[in-house]
A and B are shown apart, each in its own frame.
Chain A
Amino acid sequence: MLINNLNSYSSLLKDYTELRVQENRTLRISLVKGNLVKNTKEIIGGVSARVNKKGSWGFVSIPEINLESIKKAIQEAGYNAAFLNSKANKGKERFLPSNPTMEKSFATHKTRLTQKEIMDYVKAVDAYIMTKYPNLINRDIHVQCLDMEKNLLTSDGASLYSMLPRSIIYVDLTLEKDGQPVNVTNVFGGRGQFEDNFDTPDKLYLELDKTYEHLLKKSEGVYADAGVKECILDAKLAGILAHEAIGHTTESDLVLGGSVAGDYLNKQVASSLVSLVDFAHTYNGELCPVPIYIDDEGTKSEDTVIIKDGILKSFMHNKETAQHFNVSPTGNARAFEYFDEPLVRMRNTAIIPGNSKLEDMIASIEDGYYLIDPSNGQADSTSEFMFGVTLGYEIKNGKLGRGIKDTTISGVAFDVLKTVSMVSDDMNWSAGGFCGKKQLITVGMGGPAVKCKINIGGR
């Protein structure tokens, strides 16, 4: 159990200190071809303290949550900071104080399902796929539910209680074509506990049928013609474009580490059709997939406008990088587990919708590709990004053609975004993935469909 209020420990926080008590609860169920290969629960929690002495950080985490462990974490984090400070005194000033306070829980208000009810749901989805599509050689269903519950208190008096849940079902369908396996994946769910995202199994069936239709077309698919092509990146892909291509290069710690974005502040880096924002918690009056109100350093989270009408406007900051750049911290410091220190992380990174219609965008391409579903991606200090594409189609003379096999697209973000010539008027948010940067973290990614020129892998 978490301690509901850390304020009684405020007298223990002498130097600049963040005290955090956190518990992550995870449920994982995996059915592979109907076989239950994973059925696990994980409850990992504890206390951590991070202390800053004149620019040197000390951090200590302990799994027990009680007065003794809290005292020990604070004391030993202080020792660690002092150890570094004794080796090299950086002489840095204390951060400007801020003390927002917030309690925010996204726990379900519905009656919690039992383990059996969740298992029955998964088995019903599996049975539907097996019965309706007997020609599949494999079907994978993976359930992952994560509840992140945390309490934070800083020496400046900032405090936070938050409970941020996410529940996801990944479905992967495989059939065999000419002796070779071909697969397509779909992802369901997002912010919220299982009860809020998954009502009855039949609500997934229409999307599963569409997934199967895509699989059939992909199994007849061809290799993409490798090279730079005109492409429509579907709204599902635009989010990962925002995250990988631009988001990472504008994280201020990576800017300090040499990211090319550091050279481009207030310069034109994209078509004037492109605006890109890392939203703290709300977009257009609606909650984002990963709403962050106060970050893990106790900073009130604000939207970070990264690109406005094609101009690079600002970077995402924690307290330390904000001090370096002499700007205000943006509330982007986030930690995944209780034993992780806060790092500069994205929250809900999105390209802002434009005015075009997807069908007009497809019709405008003579020879190119319509790319729909992404897999993993990676960023670079040069802004040269890549991400996998697991579902896409040729575009020939303005019409969709054959499906294409799995491929990868890449480009230098600040070049690719200058080729953006149309942006659709819709918006799609995804919240199924993790971002990796020393630690994992949940992130939201969003955007409209985008027309651009990009390098596609193939034969």
Chain B
Amino acid sequence: MEKKEILKYCIDSLSESGVDKSQCILNYSKKDELNVDIGEISLFRTTFDTNLEITAIHENRKGSISINKLDKDSIDKAIVDLLELSRTSEIDEAYDISPKQETKVFSSGDEKPDLDKMYSLMDGFVVKVKDMYPQIKLEQAIFDFVKTEEYLMNSNGVDFQSNKGIYNFTPIFTSKDDENTTSFNYTQVSLSELKKDLLECGSINYLLRESVEQLKSKPLEGKFVGDIIITPDCLYDFIYFLNSINLSDNTLISGTSTFKDKINKKVASPKFTLHSNPVSEEICNGYFVTDDGFEAENLTIIKDGVLKSFLLSQYGANKTKLERSKNTGGAYIVESGDKTLDKLIKDIDRGIVIARFSGGEPSPNGDFSGVAKNSFYIENGEIKYPITETMISGNLNELLLNIKDISKERINFGSTVLPWISTSGITISGK
């Protein structure tokens, strides 16, 4: 069987077994990956994979199974296992599949990687880093091209196909001289095509330069409540936490979300607007179809500080009687502000620039604490020195409300577009 025939076979087999509703997702992928280890290109890894995920709902009982074998025997066995999973499941009227939508084929990116170009860019990156930043130890760098072909069909007649090719680059590095070692740092950028040097992509050059500066880090003394500037790399972590504790299915179904009654109410500074735009032209590494079978659309989560949408799947929406979101998150874009990063720094009496947050996931009420890695101390509007052994703690909800300014500058990581954000009321403690 080939591609759509497999999906039709699964849906027909489940229907013949008396299942009320079913959905199948079939994904073919090939990844070509070059790895730098300890400053040398060391590994060329190619992975072929398939994944068939089948979901069945029968008499309001649901189960799902995933396999990566596509022969008839494996599929038939998976269907038998799936029927047992769904029959022994709990009854829940909120289980459903997406309604029929217009059949579509979506495409983005290259069909095949240019391996010689990838090698040449990776090699060029290693050489340039050694030349420009001799103190940098390139612990690892991963440069891959992933080609995916995904089909989603369900028993309501939904029929989507997504074809996507994307390059991803992730360098991990530290700086070392005769006396000092810095914290490691890393970033990731996604690219639809190979047009420029890897050093110039995303925040890479910026972070490498800062890493070398961090060889002069020293512990921060004492404890104070001050301001922080969150860098674009670090801001992603805080948006992830926001989703996890306030916006997603589980937190709203359980009722632990502190945003549960806040739709159309103020949850952040009026300067803060957050979108999830998987099909935006700004985002090259987005997605076209949600896991629950809907065509993905762009949405605004927070507009001028007011909560406009959760990130609820069809099940989450049915369960909470709230509106299903137009997508299920990711592809975050924070709108830029009207001040430069320099001005954000100048406006701070005492605080830090935090470039990497190493901490636990916040409590359900938003309390967080963690180590400020790769960060710099600010006093009287100036960056004074890089710091080590410094912890920050605060509350995520208060952090959003206390946002002072957002930078004009933003970094496009391919999967997100994020600025620098300054906020206040954070406890900063050193030795």
What residues make up the interface of A, taking CB atoms closer than 8 Å to B?
32-33, 35-37, 39-46, 55-64, 76, 80-81, 83-84, 87-88, 90, 114-116, 119, 123, 137-138, 140, 174, 180-183, 223, 226-228, 253-254, 256-260, 263, 339, 341, 375-376, 378, 380-382, 384, 386-390, 405-408, 410-412, 438, 455-459
Q: Is the CB of A380 within 8 A of B373?
A: yes
Least Cβ–Cβ distance between B251 and chain A, in angstroms: 9
Residue of A43, A46, A119 most packed against chain B (CB within 10 A): A43
Q: Is the CB of A183 within 8 A of B364?
A: yes
Within 8 Å by CB of A88, from B41, B181, B363, lies B41
Docked CA distance A259–B431 (Å): 22
* Minimal Cβ-Cβ distance residue in A for B225: A459
Q: Is the CB of B360 within 8 A of A35?
A: no
Q: Is the CB of B183 within 8 A of A384?
A: yes
Chain B residues, CB < 8 A from A457: 359, 369-370, 391-393, 427, 429
Instruction: Report if A87-B119 is in contact (Cβ < 8 Å); known contacts: A43-B67, A180-B258, A226-B391.
Output: yes
Q: Is the CB of A438 within 8 A of B142?
A: yes
Docked CA distance A389–B362 (Å): 11
* Chain A CB within 8 A of B182 CB: yes
Closest 9 CB pairs of A and B: A388-B360, A457-B369, A257-B139, A258-B137, A181-B364, A138-B254, A80-B44, A226-B429, A180-B365
Residue of A35, A223, A376 most packed against chain B (CB within 10 A): A35
Instruction: Report if A408-B38 is in contact (Cβ < 8 Å); known contacts: A63-B68, A226-B429, A257-B139.
Output: no
Within 8 Å by CB of B359, from A263, A388, A405, lies A388
Within 8 Å by CB of B92, from A36, A226, A254, A389, lies A36
Chain B residues, CB < 8 A from A138: 254-256
Chain B residues, CB < 8 A from A57: 42-45
Q: Is the CB of A39 within 8 A of B393?
A: no
Band of interface residues on B: 35 or more
* Minimal Cβ-Cβ distance residue in A for B68: A63
Least Cβ–Cβ distance between B399 and chain A, in angstroms: 14
**Residues of chain B from 365 to 408 with CB closer than 8 A to chain A in the complex:** 365, 367, 369-371, 373, 388-389, 391-393
Least Cβ–Cβ distance between A14 and chain B, in angstroms: 18
Instruction: Report if A408-B369 is in contact (Cβ < 8 Å); known contacts: A39-B89, A41-B81, A376-B360.
Output: yes
Instruction: Report if A115-B85 is in contact (Cβ < 8 Å); known contacts: A63-B50, A80-B46, A378-B358.
Output: yes
Q: What are 15 A-B pairs with beta-carbon distances under 8 A?
A: A41-B85, A43-B66, A57-B45, A60-B45, A60-B47, A60-B48, A63-B48, A64-B69, A90-B40, A115-B88, A140-B250, A381-B182, A410-B358, A455-B391, A459-B393
Q: Is the CB of B369 within 8 A of A458?
A: yes
Q: Is the CB of B174 within 8 A of A257?
A: yes
Within 8 Å by CB of B140, from A63, A180, A257, lies A257
* Surface stretch bound by A, among B2-10, B57-65, B99-107, B277-285: B57-65
* Chain A CB within 8 A of B128 CB: no
Least Cβ–Cβ distance between B161 and chain A, in angstroms: 20
Within 8 Å by CB of B63, from A40, A45, A182, A223, lies A40
Least Cβ–Cβ distance between B365 and chain A, in angstroms: 4
Q: Is the CB of A33 within 8 A of B181?
A: no
Least Cβ–Cβ distance between A47 and chain B, in angstroms: 10
Least Cβ–Cβ distance between B69 and chain A, in angstroms: 7
Docked CA distance A194–B90 (Å): 20
Chain B residues, CB < 8 A from A58: 43-45
Chain A residues, CB < 8 A from B181: 258-260, 263, 381-382
Chain B residues, CB < 8 A from A87: 41, 119, 123
Q: Is the CB of B431 within 8 A of A339?
A: no
Residue of A57, A174, A410 most packed against chain B (CB within 10 A): A410
Instruction: Report if A258-B364 is in contact (Cβ < 8 Å); known contacts: A33-B254, A84-B41, A138-B254.
Output: no
Least Cβ–Cβ distance between B370 and chain A, in angstroms: 5
Instruction: Report if A406-B367 is in contact (Cβ < 8 Å); known contacts: A41-B65, A63-B69.
Output: yes
Q: Is the CB of B393 within 8 A of A226?
A: yes
Within 8 Å by CB of A181, from B40, B92, B183, B258, lies B258
Least Cβ–Cβ distance between B352 and chain A, in angstroms: 14
Chain A residues, CB < 8 A from B86: 39
Chain B residues, CB < 8 A from A253: 37-38, 139
Docked CA distance A182–B50 (Å): 41
Q: Is the CB of A81 within 8 A of B367?
A: no
Beyond known contacts A55-B42, A60-B47, A256-B38: 6 more, CB 8 A cutoff: A43-B66, A57-B43, A226-B429, A381-B174, A406-B363, A408-B359
Least Cβ–Cβ distance between A21 and chain B, in angstroms: 13
Q: Is the CB of A39 within 8 A of B64?
A: yes
**Residues of chain B from 14 to 57 with CB closer than 8 A to chain A in the complex:** 37-38, 40-51
* Minimal Cβ-Cβ distance residue in A for B33: A59
**Residues of chain B from 150 to 192 with CB closer than 8 A to chain A in the complex:** 172, 174-176, 181-184
Q: Is the CB of A254 within 8 A of B139?
A: yes
Chain A residues, CB < 8 A from B427: 226, 457-459
Least Cβ–Cβ distance between B255 and chain A, in angstroms: 6
* Chain A CB within 8 A of B213 CB: no
* Chain A CB within 8 A of B349 CB: no
Least Cβ–Cβ distance between B2 and chain A, in angstroms: 15
Instruction: Report if A408-B44 is in contact (Cβ < 8 Å); known contacts: A138-B255, A140-B254.
Output: no
Chain B residues, CB < 8 A from A228: 431
Instruction: Report if A84-B44 is in contact (Cβ < 8 Å); known contacts: A42-B66, A382-B182.
Output: yes
Least Cβ–Cβ distance between B42 and chain A, in angstroms: 6
Give per-residue flags for B250-288: 1 if the beta carbon is below 8 A from chain A beta carbons, else 0.
100111101000000000000000000000000000000
Docked CA distance A405–B369 (Å): 11
Q: Is the CB of B41 within 8 A of A32?
A: no
Chain A residues, CB < 8 A from B249: 37
Least Cβ–Cβ distance between A341 and chain B, in angstroms: 6
Docked CA distance A405–B48 (Å): 46
Chain A residues, CB < 8 A from B172: 257
